[in-house]
Structure 1
Amino acid sequence: MTEETNEPLDKTYDELKQLRDEIRLKLQLGGMEVRDEWEKLEGEWDTWTHQLGQQLEAKAEDLEQRLREAGGEDLRKLEVATKLEISKLKRGFQEVADNLTKD
């Protein structure tokens, strides 16, 4: 992946991680009624970050070569899939944060 595409992903990752950490702290301090939803999101977070790490590590060289040959189509597909997963996680984290704020 190019540096240009890593910057938005890095920023989004940092934002999601910060929101996740804030929610985790609030859950420890109270608000346990959203525990099931949180645990589900934690599982999705772990799965997503693990898969993302594996994909990026395993395919970096191959992706670079294919991008040169395909004119960037593979990168666009990866970006779309990543954005969809990020959006799903962000909505879930925001719902938990909103529920915690209501208390």
Structure 2
Amino acid sequence: MPDINKLAEDLKQNYDEIKLKVHLGSKEAQDEWTELQERWNHFESQANLKKSKEDLGDAVEILGSELKDAFTRIRKAL
């Protein structure tokens, strides 16, 4: 199981960087970004970014992985 705190930190950094660039991106990237914002909010609420990895469970780990993949797709589209 990866270090959830590190994963959350990396995702937060990606989220913040992409958020600044998205408004210059394509409509497709903007649409995906809108959806990702909802998923990011869900991830933050579930992870609470302060809980231990034992409390997070497999669902949050999967969601984190999906967010990472989506960030990569958006970054490539920009």
| TM-score normalised by the chain length of structure 1 | 0.61
Which runs of no fewer than 5 residues in structure 2 stay unpaired? Answer: none
Paired-residue identity, %: 30
C-alpha RMSD of matched pairs (Å): 2.5
Superposition deviation, residue 76 in structure 1: 8.9
Answering whether residue 74 of structure 2 is matched by residue 82 of structure 1, we say no
Distance 1:76 1:52 in 2: 8
Contact conserved, 2:14 with 2:71, CA < 8 A, in 1?
Answer: yes
Superposition deviation, residue 12 in structure 1: 0.7
Q: Runs of 4+ in structure 1 displaced over 2 angstroms? A: none
| TM-score normalised by the chain length of structure 2 | 0.77
Equivalent residue of 1:31, what SS? coil
**Which has the larger helix fraction?**
1
Partner of 2:16: 21
